[in-house]
Amino acid sequence: MSEQEKVKTLLKEAVVYKNQGLFAQAKAKFSSALEVMTQNEVLRSNTTLISAIEEKLRDVDAILGDIDEETGAPELSEDIQELIKKSFAFSRDKEAAAIEGAMALAKFGQFDKALEEFNEILEYATLPVMVAKNIIRCHLTVSSPETAIEQFRTWAGGDRFSKEEMLHLREFLQGILESRGLDLEIPGGGESPESPPEGGDPEEDEMDISSVNIQLEDGVENPRSEEFPVELQSGATISIIVPASSREMVRMFKHGMRLPMIQCFSPIGFFPGSGTITGKTKVLEGPNRGDFMVDIKLDD
């Protein structure tokens, strides 16, 4: 790849990251592009492009400064985190209750603690693929796509998952990245997972949803739709983040509200669906502090 092509690729990735709200990652890509430009004798003569990249960097820095001011509060205490885990762990089964507790932490924005919990559960989980998927989702929400890919690489070098499970996780990660407009290389071959043995794999019953498009009827003549990435999933229940700035939508989304028209996107295609809102939680900390995590139970 030539230096000019490298700059084009870096700028393209930076724009995608910025559009996805991954401002720290966008800044890193813009900075890398600027470094390549200034160190190349031919490219550094393009002062117009260099000025444009510097302007983009200033914009991202300003956004990051605002985010730092808004999310500068300390993490919740360990006692409060434990209370959240216990308050939202309803299952009698120990593993299911632990997963519910970890997902509750993520919903309140405690992603670092949720990741710690998910990784502990993964050591003994009877449904490790489902746990691994939520670890990937947490990495994508709180850090970066590269971190999620690095986590996948670590699993690929170990023996926690079978070959078929790793292929399934690779397909899952690939689907999420593509749904967010990210074209990144993931380690592993392009094979498709083998068909599960007769009787089926219980983890394969879960249809992975990477994003949803929800149609909202302001009126019969004026319908509109909004698309949301899926932040967490447990069976047929998915969780999306609704920005606090979308005040009308925050007010509209209430427990028990029916959503009759949901377009669901998965790694293998898309399909129409419907569902019911089963919960709405204000995110207390992290990159989505102040926003709302909305749970939707999809119909069979």
pLDDT digits (tens, 9 = 90+) for 197-230: 444 443 444 578 888 999 886 544 556 788 898 8
Judged on CB neighbours under 10 Å (0-12, 13-18, 19+), 21 is middle
pLDDT digits (tens, 9 = 90+) for 92-131: 677 778 888 888 787 777 788 888 899 999 998 888 988 8
Residue whose structure tokens are 């990784």: 119
pLDDT digits (tens, 9 = 90+) for 131-186: 898 899 888 877 678 888 999 999 998 989 999 999 989 988 888 888 777 778 88
Domains of the chain: 3-70 (1.20.58), 78-205 (1.25.40.10), 211-298 (2.40.10.220)
Compute the distance between CA of residue 239 and CA of residue 52 in angstroms, rounded to an integer: 37
For residue 260, report the phi and psi dihedrals to the nearest 5 degrees.
-75, -15
pTM of the model: 0.56
